[in-house]
Structure 1
Amino acid sequence: MMRPEPVLKPEEPVAEAKPVQEAPINSIKYKITGDEVNITGCDKKVSGALTIPEIIEGKSVTSIGKEAFQYCRNLTSITIPDGVTSIGQGAFELCIGLTSITIPDSVTSIGEGAFWGCSNLTSITIPDSVTDIGDSAFWGCSNLTSITIPDSVTSIRNSAFGGCYRLTSVTIGNGVTNIANYAFRNCRSLTSITIPDSVTDIGDSAFYDCTNLTSITIPDSVTSIGGYAFKFCLYLTSVTIPNSVTRIGNGAFYSCTRLTSITIGNGVTSIGNYALANCTSLTTVTFLGDAPKAGKEVFKGATPTIYRKTEAKGWGDTWGKRTVKLICEKP
């Protein structure tokens, strides 16, 4: 399930530092099952720094339950104890006063929307133990500036870091195979990103509206680029699609208005509707293989010249309503 986008402003200020105030332990609600404790809730009026105890009533705390701290707007920091293995859905949703959180190495899963809308969270360390980060887990964390996704994570789920307006640095671990739909949508401060060669799929709108993205490295492990994956990446100037890619989705590079050239590998068999539409600076499209199937209005609003190899098959004098020439004819 994808959550609605929070109403956030790109210029939302970081909360001013205040004296640390310890939150009382008796503000925590919990449930004991066998020898394990699940944190289920918290007094919504609690404020300051909260350290969740490792042991409650002689039992180990092993999980933070669904929506346990949801709307605890006055909490500023939270320390999760060793032994906790899961952080549930919406566990810290809209904890807008939260600036830092410590996640122990025991945690293996971060649930859907776990930190959704934590707009003053400035840093978080995802430990190597985490294998799963849920949909929208950090959506709207608009003051988060950097994130490292460990090698243990295999998928960056839908909208996981969408709306992180101030995110400038992303390191994607070598275990990630899929960057899902909307994963980094609206990350408008992101200027470059390197996708590791473990990734095979870039989802729909994965980098949509990353308006300051100037460069991206797509490895030759990627086979599919989803619809609108790079729409409104206004500062991209050149792109190379590796030979491994077979499909470029609808509107994949729509309105990349500073894109001047793109090289498309020999594995591409289809290019979707409006894939390069409104790329108003595009002058050169180089194909390294046979002519792919062209979608509707691939180059609407753009007037590039297409260049192909001499031995490539299926080409005519035009493709996508644009002139085709041989690579040897490039100026």
Structure 2
Amino acid sequence: MKLLPLLLLLALPSVVQAQFTFTTNNGAITITGYTGSDGLAIIPSITNGYPITCIAGVSVVNGVLVQGAFANCTNLTSVLIPDSVTNIGPMAFIACFSLTNVTLPNGIISIEDGTFEGCFSLTDVAIPSSVTSIGSFAFSDCYSLAGTIIPNNVTNLGSGVFAWCAALNSIVIPSNISSLVGDTTISGRGVFLDCTGLTNIVVPTSVTNIDSAFKNCSSLVGVSIPNSVSSIGFQAFYGCSSLARVVIPDSVTTIGQDAFADCASLTNITVPDSVTNIDEDAFGGCSSLESIVIPSGVASINYGMFYDCTDLTGVFFKGNSPTNIGSAVFYGVTNAIVYYLPSTTGWTTNFAGRPTAPWLPQLQPTGVSFGVQTNQFAFNINWASGQTVVVEACTNLFHPDWQPVQTNTLTTGSAYFSDPQWTNYPGRFYRLRSP
């Protein structure tokens, strides 16, 4: 029977005044608070003959911080907001712990900072296509929010928009977003911070910068990074403990501090030649990482870059020895060897406390490509991308007369070799060398 008097507020201004506090300005009403005790709040489109156009959030009046219109309405379960409302102020529904459903008006342009922060029971929200901006922490701590569709008109996502939304398992980032960032403090409060249910994410081609966006998304197993991204910044994928493989596109020039730190399942990562800067602790705590290739443009190896990468066995440098070496680069690493190309300079027998060795082309002696293929003897060659390798052959290892058979440039780090003449010899041996 609680609904009857509530529904009557559409016709009875005195009831409206009992349920809401509001101000009148230039022929329009702004709701500033809610005093009702019912679980359902229906906001009228007109009261006292004036349209309701705004729901006020937090504001400072004479130095006093005023709570959001529905802030801390812990018994509120559902809200229907009329289309006449075009603005909902910051923190308007903060800490409405019981709120499970809200209908947003079609004309609203932005969802302000902290609007639904701490709405623990909110399971679903339909964001109208009119929305162009979602403010910082707008849906943070909405533990029950499993998914929502962000309209393509949205061009801005603030820090921590969906932070601590543990039930969030899928979301589509709109194609107009240019940056996925959080603040750059040690907390790294990113857009999807601690979304522990998120498993896969596709970053749209409009994004150029990723910064602390997916920190502690511990269930994230796959991410697609487009060629538009130039920077993978501070703590971008920090603590993504289920992430096993990442391909970084050729557009990226910077890998920031802690970008992939504590990605405990990461076994393979491709760092493109476009990268010139890798910051502190970028791969620290990647305990499953076995090998990595460092591009020739990287001149500095910063503090703790491979800190506690306990499974690391090979770090392969494509350029000259870096001139700036930080401390604790290989702290906790006991088996890694640093490999360098024979044509590069500045290398000694030791680098940052680890032994060094020449990085030479390798013949892959196993796999489907090894052996007789279509009446030709064949195998794959692995080495650094862009390097040229010469395959030589001889028929007698006691008195070898090595002759070049084929020259290959490894544009992608590997090449396929096949010898159609092998049947012309009783036995044939092969070796690899650089020109």
Q: What is the TM-score normalised by the length of structure 2?
A: 0.67
Which has the larger displacement, 264-273 or 156-165?
A: 264-273
Match of 2:23 among 12, 31, 37: 31
Report the CA distance shift for 1:35/1:63 in structure 2 as closer, same or farther (over 3 A): same
Per-residue CA deviations over 1:241-300 (Å, capped at 9, x if unaligned) read: 111111111111111111000011222111111110111110132356633532212111
Correspondence list, 1:116-131, <5 A: 116-131=117-132
Q: Which residue of 1 aligns with 2:207?
A: 199
Q: Which residue of 2 aligns with 1:48?
A: 39
Cα offset, 1:36, TM superposition: 1.9
Cα offset, 1:304, TM superposition: 4.5
Cα offset, 1:307, TM superposition: 4.0
Q: Which residue of 1 aligns with 2:50?
A: 59
Where structure 1 has 5 or more consecutive residues not aligned to the other structure, the ranges are 1-18
Cα offset, 1:61, TM superposition: 1.5
Q: Which amino acid aligns with 2:194?
A: N
3-state SS in 2 of match to 1:47: coil
Q: Which residue of 1 aligns with 2:135?
A: 134
Report the CA distance shift for 1:172/1:261 in structure 2 as closer, same or farther (over 3 A): same
Instruction: Indicate whether 1:148 and 2:139 are aligned.
Output: no
Q: Is the 8 A contact 1:22 1:50 kept in 2?
A: no
Q: Which amino acid aligns with 2:30?
A: N
Q: Which residue of 2 aligns with 1:185?
A: 193
Q: Is the 8 A contact 1:271 1:292 kept in 2?
A: no
Q: Which residue of 2 aligns with 1:306?
A: 315
Give 1 or 2 for the bigger CA radius of gyration: 2
Correspondence list, 1:225-244, <5 A: 225-244=232-251
Correspondence list, 1:1-331, <5 A: 21=3, 24=6, 25=9, 26=16, 27-43=19-35, 45-66=36-57, 67-181=68-182, 182-203=190-211, 205-287=212-294, 290-302=297-309, 303-307=312-316, 313-314=319-320, 317=339, 325=359, 328-329=382-383
CA RMSD of aligned residues (A): 2.3
Q: Which amino acid aligns with 2:213?
A: A
Q: What is the TM-score normalised by the length of structure 1?
A: 0.87
Per-residue CA deviations over 1:32-85 (Å, capped at 9, x if unaligned) read: 111222111011x52222111111222222111110000111111101111221
Separation in structure 1 between the aligned mates of residue 301 and residue 153 of structure 2, nearest angstrom: 38
3-state SS in 2 of match to 1:75: coil
Q: Is the 8 A contact 2:295 2:319 kept in 1?
A: no
Separation in structure 1 between the aligned mates of residue 155 and residue 93 of structure 2, nearest angstrom: 23
Cα offset, 1:218, TM superposition: 0.9
Separation in structure 2 between the aligned mates of residue 229 and residue 87 of structure 1, nearest angstrom: 30
Separation in structure 2 between the aligned mates of residue 320 and residue 256 of structure 1, nearest angstrom: 23
Q: Which amino acid aligns with 2:148?
A: I
Separation in structure 2 between the aligned mates of residue 291 and residue 231 of structure 1, nearest angstrom: 22
Separation in structure 2 between the aligned mates of residue 22 and residue 49 of structure 1, nearest angstrom: 11
Q: Is the 8 A contact 1:21 1:48 kept in 2?
A: no
Percent identity over the alignment is: 36
Cα offset, 1:315, TM superposition: 5.1
Q: Is the 8 A contact 2:215 2:238 kept in 1?
A: yes
Q: Is the 8 A contact 2:85 2:105 kept in 1?
A: yes
Q: Is the 8 A contact 2:276 2:295 kept in 1?
A: no
Q: Is the 8 A contact 2:118 2:142 kept in 1?
A: yes
Separation in structure 2 between the aligned mates of residue 185 and residue 86 of structure 1, nearest angstrom: 27
Separation in structure 2 between the aligned mates of residue 320 and residue 126 of structure 1, nearest angstrom: 52
Q: Which residue of 1 aligns with 2:13?
A: none
Separation in structure 2 between the aligned mates of residue 125 and residue 88 of structure 1, nearest angstrom: 18
Cα offset, 1:106, TM superposition: 0.1
Q: Which residue of 1 aligns with 2:334?
A: none
Q: Is the 8 A contact 1:299 1:320 kept in 2?
A: no
Where structure 2 has 5 or more consecutive residues not aligned to the other structure, the ranges are 10-15, 58-67, 183-189, 323-338, 341-350, 362-381, 384-412, 415-435
Report the CA distance shift for 1:29/1:321 in structure 2 as closer, same or farther (over 3 A): farther
Cα offset, 1:215, TM superposition: 0.5
Cα offset, 1:179, TM superposition: 1.1
Separation in structure 2 between the aligned mates of residue 129 and residue 163 of structure 1, nearest angstrom: 26
Q: Is the 8 A contact 1:285 1:305 kept in 2?
A: yes
Report the CA distance shift for 1:21/1:75 in structure 2 as closer, same or farther (over 3 A): farther
The number of equivalent residue pairs is 308
Which has the larger displacement, 161-170 or 263-272?
A: 263-272
3-state SS in 2 of match to 1:41: strand
Separation in structure 1 between the aligned mates of residue 293 and residue 194 of structure 2, nearest angstrom: 29
Separation in structure 1 between the aligned mates of residue 101 and residue 256 of structure 2, nearest angstrom: 38
Q: Which residue of 2 aligns with 1:16?
A: none
Q: Which residue of 2 aligns with 1:13?
A: none
Q: Which residue of 2 aligns with 1:9?
A: none
